[in-house]
Amino acid sequence: MVEFKGSIVPLVTPFKNGAIDEAALERLIERQIEAGSHALSVGGTTGEPGALSLEEREYLIERALRFIKGRVPLLAGTGSLRLDETLRLTQAAHRMGAQGALVITPYYVKPNQEGLYRFFGQVAQSVPEMPIVLYNIPGRTGVEIKVDTVARLRRDFKNIVGLKHSSKDVEYVSELLRRVGRDFKVYCGLEALTFPMMCVGAVGTIAATANWLPKETAQMCQLTLEGRYKEALELHYYGLEANDAVFWDTNPIPLKTVLSWMGLCEKEWREPLGPTTPEVEARLRRMAESYGLIPAQGSHPPVLPDPAGKQYV
């Protein structure tokens, strides 16, 4: 089984005239690989999976694998509200060659812990040779995967290898690793907490900010994995405004707004998402200029912190 570590970038799903934009998807993937991202993910929250048909989600996974060409692993987002859909997508991702599946807690219905155990257990059983990463995001699903439930799943299904934790509760990470073993893989799902979570044992991040700052996010993760915490801390602070900006409107609206200015994809979503306000656009433009993502008028982008005077990776 592939072991996911470092910066696992949750790509936006680019659209053009209502359809998935293949050319833009390839551009986004090439940019990430060139920047040193450790792995990629499609079909997660940032990729607007709720607005995609099952056929489109399968197509997205297939195209991503084709463009990646085995250069980095792919963690395919395959979770859905329904078990049958989740099984279909996870099995399809496995057949196509994805190296792992990211499976979100079923949303809206707020299942109890026994229901979550059975749901994730059936998914794991359907692809016993494929690594499964649970996706704990209580802010969007309304329910948390309790540590006891993760411990049961870890014990009973050997291919449940990790968890993406999208919550400000860093104590959860410490308790989880204490209970299930520190070889269990935890990935940060809240951009600004990547460095703190990795300091207590997470092995990487699935951070939307890397759509903007792939090199810096990958470097911060690599430095932390190597125990070079002081250097990683500088990058942590460097990226704070970009982390915040992801959520100045509903993700991925800010991401696609800036990526469109960068010429990487269209500024296009599927309803009910829509354009942000002029005020937020103005803030995003100032942020993008400050990071050198788009040309700045009469100013210069900040220099990446490098206190040691060496290359990060």
What are the residue numbers of the active site?
A: 135, 164
- Long-range contacts of the stretch 85-91 (C-beta < 8 A, 24+): 85/54, 86/119, 86/123, 87/122, 87/123, 87/126, 88/54, 89/43, 89/54, 89/57, 89/58, 89/61, 90/123, 90/126, 90/127, 90/130, 90/132, 91/126, 91/127
Instruction: Give residues with Cβ within 8 angstroms of 198, minimum separation 6.
Output: 188, 204, 205, 221, 224, 225, 232
Answer yes or no: is 45 a known binding residue. no
> What secondary structure letter does DSSP report for 72?
S
Q: Which residue has the tokens 């500088």?
A: 234
Q: CA-to-CA distance for 110 and 118, rounded, in angstroms?
A: 14
Q: Does the annotation list 61 as a binding residue?
A: no
Rounded Cα distance between 122 and 119, Å, is: 5
Q: Annotated binding site for pyruvate: which residue ranges?
A: 46, 206
Q: Annotated binding site: which residue ranges?
A: 46, 206
